[in-house]
Amino acid sequence: MTTEQTQNAPGGTATLAGRTVARIGFGAMQLAAMRPGRPAPDRDTALAVLRSAVGQGVNHIDTAQFYGAGACNELIRDALHPYPHDLVLVSKVGVDDSGHSLVPAQRPEQLRAGVEANLASLRTEQLAVVNMRRLDAPPGLRAEGDQLVDLDSQLAELIKLRDEGKIGAIGLSNVSPGQLRHALPAGIACVQNAYSVLDRSSEPVLALCREHGLAWVPFWPLGSGGFPGVARVTDHPAVVAAAASLGATPAQAGLAWQLAHYPHTLLIPGTTSQAHLHDNIAAGGLRLPPGTLATLDRLAPAA
Ligand SMILES: NC(=O)c1ccc[n+]([C@@H]2O[C@H](COP(=O)([O-])OP(=O)(O)OC[C@H]3O[C@@H](n4cnc5c(N)ncnc54)[C@H](OP(=O)(O)O)[C@@H]3O)[C@@H](O)[C@H]2O)c1
């Protein structure tokens, strides 16, 4: 990033895999059709949202080949290739899209195939970070049978891919504190677990990130796009009230709380809307007073 880009970075900057990124990034999953009844936005809208995010200083995009069977990556490529030199593209492996539904893909050769598919669809030589998405615990898919793979075998394959230069760094997703601690010697750049002001069940994992200064990239920072059973941050009365008292939107209050909670938090809220994108980026400029932080701190048990 240039000095000017750094100064104007939404939410300020932090480091991800040795790269300087704006603390407000973009999660691309909402741009793909992921389940029946939740259609993707039209192509022009999706391309415009991606370009607008980057135009407003976002330089960290989270994606996956299995978002819409490659559709999400293709949109990123079509919107942004050739990529700005400071753009950090992060993907994940461990799941595949059979064309009809998501299926586990935890075996080492499947991780390699996943990385190769990402490289091809994004048309890039290297993915800055690849998160190993574990399927031991909710939410979402669970591994069984030959998909029950030990973390060491997966890390060994990802280390090979890193040595080959196909990935810049290794991250972990949906892991326990024990798994993170076990994986640390492999060199872990970031952790991506579900986490929001209303769901702090991963606080012990975040505590370990704090201890080691690791980047924390919560998924579902706003409580997801309607995943069953996940509380929407923007609907919670206390978040709504806190936001109103500051002249901000509920999404901004929820995101600003995350930024204040840990200095190495990198946000990847997802949206299909230019107005919401603008809102989320502007959350980077919102400072919550101590009383508001304390109120929001109490909304969920810090497990
Ligand atoms: N590692 C994993 O297992 C995993 C799992 C899930 C997601 N992820 C990553 O995390 C990213 C974020 O997750 P997510 O997109 O599922 O959930 P999210 O960011 O928590 O929430 C997205 C939802 O919030 C709405 N929204 C966004 N900005 C808003 C605003 N300012 N005001 C009101 N509503 C707003 C969006 O609707 P509109 O489109 O109407 O704005 C969408 O329905 C994904 O894109 C993906 O990259 C990773």
- Which residues is 274 bridged to in the sheet? none
CB 85 within 8 A of CB 59: no
Task: Report which of residues 99 and 52 the model is more confident about.
Answer: 52
Is pLDDT of 93 > 90? yes
Distance of alpha carbon 32 from alpha carbon 38, whole angstroms: 9
The mean pLDDT value for 151-167 works out to: 98
Q: Is 269 in the pocket of ligand 1 (CB under 6 A)?
A: yes
Distance of alpha carbon 237 from alpha carbon 116, whole angstroms: 44
The pLDDT tens digits of the residues spanning 211-255 come to: 999 999 999 999 998 899 999 999 999 999 999 999 999 999 999
CB 251 within 8 A of CB 280: yes
The pLDDT tens digits of the residues spanning 125-138 come to: 999 999 999 999 99
Q: How many CB atoms lie within 10 A of CB 116?
A: 13
- pLDDT of amino acid 101: 87
> Which domains are delineated in the chain?
3-229+265-273 (3.20.20.100)
Cα 30 to ligand 1 centre (Å): 6
SS3 assignment, position 19: strand
Q: Which of 3-12, 62-71, 202-211 has the lowest mean pLDDT?
A: 3-12
Q: Cβ-count burial of 33 within 10 angstroms (0-12 exposed, 13-18 middle, 19+ buried)?
A: middle
* 221 Cα nearest atom in ligand 1: 20
Distance of alpha carbon 92 from alpha carbon 108, whole angstroms: 13
DSSP β-ladder status, 88-93 and 60-62:
parallel
Q: Is 276 in the pocket of ligand 1 (CB under 6 A)?
A: yes
Q: How many CB atoms lie within 10 A of CB 158?
A: 27
SS3 assignment, position 98: coil
CB 61 within 8 A of CB 76: yes
Name which residue sits closest to atom 47 of ligand 1, judged by CA: 27
Token look-up 């059979």 returns 98
Q: Is 282 in the pocket of ligand 1 (CB under 6 A)?
A: no
The mean pLDDT value for 92-110 works out to: 93
Name which residue sits closest to atom 15 of ligand 1, judged by CA: 270
Q: Is 192 in the pocket of ligand 1 (CB under 6 A)?
A: yes
Which is nearest to 58 in space by CA: 25, 93, 99?
25
Cα 219 to ligand 1 centre (Å): 8
Is pLDDT of 44 > 80? yes
Residue 55: what residue type? G
Q: Which of 37-46, 56-65, 79-88 has the lowest mean pLDDT?
A: 37-46
> Which band of pLDDT confidence, cut at 50, 70 and 90, is reported for residue 1?
confident
Question: Annotated catalytic sites, by residue?
Answer: 67
- Asked if the peptide bond before residue 139 counts as cis, ω within 30 degrees of 0, the response is yes
Cα 261 to ligand 1 centre (Å): 19
CB 204 within 8 A of CB 221: no
